[in-house]
Structure 1
Amino acid sequence: MEPRGMKKWRPFATLPEQYIGLKEIINKQVEVTQPLLTEEQMEQMNFTLIEALHTNKQVYLTYYKGGQCITETGSIQFVDSLRGLFVFIDDEFELKNKIILSELIDVRLA
């Protein structure tokens, strides 16, 4: 005879399809719209990106992705203004992330 152990109870997720549907509804309720930036804010972010790139300083990046505002810490490796993207290396996992400049909300030096 084996003990049953601790069983988790999910009251509204008796069917897998039901659980997926509920998760989608909850995610849509948490979504925010992408904030609009003024010309002055975009110029300030541009100067901060250039300074961080040339001095190799750490930055706090806030960007919009999938209905959420995400903030990460890391360093800027490359900025491509023709394609409108830049390469960012995060501090946690040291992964290279390509982020579109139009998704960028805020840049601050660490």
Structure 2
Amino acid sequence: MAIRDRGLVKWLPAHFAPELRAAHRELQRDMNRIERPLLDEYQIEEMESKICYGMELNKLVKLTVWRDGYTYEEIGHVHYLEPIHKKVRLKTELGTISRIKFSDIIAVKISDKT
């Protein structure tokens, strides 16, 4: 007598559980996260001078920003430095202004383009 098994059909309802899908997504997100890089005083001072140089000469600046375990890049012109809130206002190439906390910036690169 042959065993009549439903095969993969019996596991199908388990994949539709929203809690399972949410937990799987969160697990994937956590696996891709990186820790915040530690910067010494010299690196911070060098980044500050590059940001001021880019703002003074209206150069294109590429900021590498760490936020919530992920890094991304913002490219634009430094519009204004907010010393009280410790933020950098960056006017992007699209014309929008983004405010970036200075503590979230991990790298600065200045382009030769204006």
TM-score bracket, shorter-length normalisation: 0.7 to 0.9
Extract unaligned runs of 5+ from structure 1. Answer: 1-11
1:104 alignment partner in structure 2: 105
Matched residue of 1:61: which SS? strand
Separation of aligned partners in 1, 2:29 and 2:18: 17
Backbone CA RMSD of aligned residues:
1.8
> Residues of 1 paired with 2:25 and 2:104: CA distance?
25
Unaligned runs of at least 5 residues, structure 2:
1-13
Between 1:33-42 and 1:15-24, the stretch displaced more is: 15-24
Q: Which segment is superposed worse, 40-49 or 80-89?
A: 80-89
Cα distance in 2, alignment partners of residues 96 and 13 from structure 1: 42
Tell me the TM-score normalised to structure 1 length: 0.81
**For this pair of structures, how many residues does the alignment match?**
99
Q: What do residues 90-110 of structure 1 show as CA deviations (whole Å, max 9, x unaligned)?
A: 22x332111111111011101
Following superposition, which runs of at least 4 residues in structure 1 exceed 3 angstroms of deviation? none
What TM-score results when the alignment is normalised by the length of structure 2?
Answer: 0.78
The structure with the greater share of residues assigned to helix is 2
